[in-house]
């Protein structure tokens, strides 16, 4: 069985020292090992942004895609390679701005992949512009007078779109983050894990200390029922989305793969290896 070290490769990440994305990378590697995967059983598909580099830093199949398109690629990879564990990843700009349409529809489709968003509330790669997750009033070079748009609430949106697994963590909490990624991988359906992953270079507001002061950790909330969607929505609204842990899981709803007729059967060519191209066309 592979250890987490076997999910490392010899590419040195060029993230800034202290960037939250280092912990996300470590958590994916640990979670993959903990659930018993071998590197050749995992694919990590990423979008564009600092976080998008992650697919190159993990010893597994990987594809650094195009902006906002990690999810269409990841879904295609999963449908064509049913036995692979597929993780899609990217930043809040990638997944909640240009890629938002894909995010919502992947949630609705409930394909069995895990989507990890490194949410730093800013565009880091392009040197610090306001993102859809930046708070109202947030000042950057693109909004020097403060953002006049409200911040998107992706987890509330996910819940209202029929999500079956919604979790959130903080890159400082490697133990919780690793455990949530393990649960996401094991979940039969689409799992969304949003990670507060501070950009230490450009976001001087949403820092490690700021998150530590403002986050409510569900692991410490007595009586919270993660199978209750109304409770999940209420808790998110009460905390302004600053909530970590397993927020919601629906184990009853079937995945896309379970619902597509014949999908679980062997492909036709495998069922009948002797079939000719002409016979196949007539089917
Ligand atoms: Fe991380 Fe920000 Fe540096 Fe990008 S610019 S690597 S998000 S700290």
Question: CB within 8 A of 235, min separation 6: which ones?
Answer: 216, 218, 221, 224, 243, 247
Q: What is the mean pLDDT of residues 172-180?
A: 98
Question: CB within 8 A of 261, min separation 6: which ones?
Answer: none
Q: Which atom of ligand 1 is nearest to the CA of 49?
A: 4
The single-letter DSSP state of residue 283 is -
* Mean pLDDT rounded to a whole number for the chain: 95
What is the C-alpha separation between 174 and 39, in angstroms, rounded?
21
Q: Is 203 exposed, middle or buried (0-12, 13-18, 19+ CB in 10 A)?
A: buried
For residue 198, which of 215, 218, 179 has the smallest C-alpha distance?
A: 215
pLDDT at 267: 65
pLDDT at 262: 81
pLDDT at 268: 62
Percent of the chain residues topping a pLDDT of 70: 98
Instruction: Report how far ligand 1's centroid is from the alpha carbon of 134 (Å).
Output: 15
- φ, ψ of residue 39 to 5 degrees: the values are -55, -35
pLDDT at 261: 86
pLDDT at 240: 97
Task: Kindly report the number of other CB atoms within 10 A of residue 276's CB atom.
Answer: 9
Whether 216 and 242 have beta carbons less than 8 Å apart is answered as yes
Whether 162 and 175 have beta carbons less than 8 Å apart is answered as no
pLDDT in tens, 214-225: 999 999 999 999
Q: What is the mean pLDDT of residues 118-136?
A: 96
pLDDT at 280: 72
- What domains are defined for the chain? 4-282 (3.40.50.970)
For residue 71, which of 54, 47, 96 has the smallest C-alpha distance?
A: 47
Largest pairwise CA distance in the chain: 68
pLDDT at 269: 63
pLDDT in tens, 30-88: 999 999 999 999 999 999 999 999 999 999 999 999 999 999 999 999 999 999 999 99
* 282: confidence class by pLDDT, cuts 50, 70, 90: confident
Confidence check: pLDDT of 181 > 90: yes
Give bridge partners of residue 167 from the DSSP assignment: 193, 246
Using CB distances shorter than 6 Å, the residues near ligand 1 are 15-16, 19, 21, 50, 120, 124-125, 199-202
ipTM score over 0.95, yes or no: yes
Q: Which atom of ligand 1 is nearest to the CA of 202?
A: 2
For residue 248, which of 218, 222, 221 has the smallest C-alpha distance?
A: 218
Percent of the chain residues topping a pLDDT of 90: 91
Whether 203 and 128 have beta carbons less than 8 Å apart is answered as yes
Helices then strands, counting H and E runs in the chain, come out as 11, 10
Instruction: Report how far ligand 1's centroid is from the alpha carbon of 197 (Å).
Output: 9
Strand (E) positions, 206-277? 216-217, 243-249
Instruction: Report how far ligand 1's centroid is from the alpha carbon of 83 (Å).
Output: 33
The residue length of the chain stands at: 283
Confidence check: pLDDT of 159 > 90: yes
Task: Kindly report the number of other CB atoms within 10 A of residue 25's CB atom.
Answer: 23
46: left (phi over 0), alpha (psi -120 to 50) or beta: beta
DSSP, residue by residue, 225-236: -TT-HHHHHHHH
Confidence check: pLDDT of 98 > 80: yes
């Amino acid at each position: 069985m592979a250890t987490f070290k076997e999910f490392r490769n010899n590419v040195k990440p060029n993230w800034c020292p202290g960037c939250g994305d280092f912990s996300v990378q470590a958590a994916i590697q640990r979670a993959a090992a903990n659930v018993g995967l071998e590197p050749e059983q995992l694919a990590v598909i990423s979008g564009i942004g600092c976080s998008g580099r992650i697919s190159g830093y993990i010893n597994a199949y990987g594809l650094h895609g195009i902006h906002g398109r990690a999810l269409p690629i990841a879904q295609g990879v999963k449908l064509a390679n049913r036995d692979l564990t597929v993780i899609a990843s990217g930043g809040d700009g990638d997944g909640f701005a240009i890629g938002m349409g894909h995010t919502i529809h992947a949630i609705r489709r409930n394909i069995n992949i895990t989507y990890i968003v490194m949410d730093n509330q800013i565009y880091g790669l392009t040197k610090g512009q306001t993102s859809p997750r930046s708070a109202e009033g947030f000042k950057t070079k693109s909004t020097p007078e403060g953002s006049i748009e409200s911040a998107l609430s992706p987890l509330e949106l996910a819940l209202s779109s029929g999500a079956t697994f919604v979790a959130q963590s903080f890159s400082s909490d490697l133990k919780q983050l690793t455990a949530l990624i393990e649960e996401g991988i094991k979940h039969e359906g689409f799992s969304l894990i949003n990670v507060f992953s501070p950009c230490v270079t450009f976001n001087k507001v949403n820092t490690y200390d700021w998150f530590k002061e403002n986050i409510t950790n569900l692991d410490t909330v007595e009586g919270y029922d993660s199978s209750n969607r109304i409770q999940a929505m209420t808790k998110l609204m009460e905390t302004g989305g600053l909530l970590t842990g397993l927020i919601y899981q629906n184990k009853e709803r079937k995945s896309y793969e379970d619902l597509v007729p014949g999908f679980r059967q062997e492909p036709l060519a495998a069922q009948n290896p002797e079939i000719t191209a002409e016979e196949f066309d007539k089917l």
